[in-house]
Amino acid sequence: MRYRYLAIEGNIGAGKTSLSSKIAAEYKAKLILEEFAENPFLPKFYEDPDRYAFPLELSFLAERFSQLKRDLEQPDLFGSHVVSDYFLSKSLVFSRNNLKDDEYSLFSKMFQLIIPQIPKPDLLVYLYLDIERLQHNIKKRGRPYEQQITDKYLIDVQNNYFEFIRKQEDLKVLIIDSNRLDFVNKDEDYRKILHLIDQDYPNGVNHISA
């Protein structure tokens, strides 16, 4: 694998964990998966966003920072590569979407204090899917607290990701339009994505329709 530290990002239901797990297994890389299932604020947030948005985003930031700092400082003894299904800056993306302006201002200041302590990925891959396909995947995996996610919420998250990505001038970002791919069930589609990832990209945004 060309890149030592690869991060896979995308909207809710884009397939981040599935792709990260397949790539890590393929290259015997250290796999870092977000531990969101244990967050007690997540189901509460979907029921009452105004009340629980700030504690949710704060707890996610603390958990993501702790996990990445621990795992990236302790590389796997049997491999020299790391694949993660998230990037710490997703905290900034979701907080921009979920918090009020004054809350986001405070959150952003806290974020800027800790982000220098976490290495940037050598390549950030963003999996793009249309909202209809995202909703299909969300319904298919059946997490109860996700079933009420609206199209508008997904569109807002997508737009905030794009706004963040456009500003990345010192990071290699690859956007893969995966609407016509089924990399979970079709090996040829998975191989297409591996081929795209294994290219030398310049810093900034690189958009590819697969």
CA 174 vs CA 10, 61, 95, 179, 187: distances in Å = 11, 24, 23, 15, 21
Each residue's pLDDT expressed in tens, for the chain with a length of 210 residues: 899 999 999 999 999 999 999 999 999 999 999 987 678 999 899 899 999 999 999 999 999 999 999 999 876 655 689 999 999 999 999 999 999 999 999 999 999 999 999 999 999 999 999 999 999 999 999 988 899 999 999 999 999 999 999 999 899 999 999 999 999 999 999 999 999 999 999 999 987 665
- The pLDDT score that the predictor gives to residue 206 is 87
The whole-number pLDDT of residue 196 equals 95
Distance CA 50, CA 53 (A): 6
For the chain, what is the domain count?
A: 1
pLDDT at 36: 78
Residues forming a β-bridge with 32? 84
Q: Residue 13 sits in a domain of what CATH number?
A: 3.40.50.300
Domain residues for 119?
5-209
Among candidates 9, 4, 2, 1, which has minimal Cα distance to 174?
A: 9
- pLDDT at residue number 75: 60
Per-residue confidence (pLDDT) for residue 208, from 0 to 100? 67
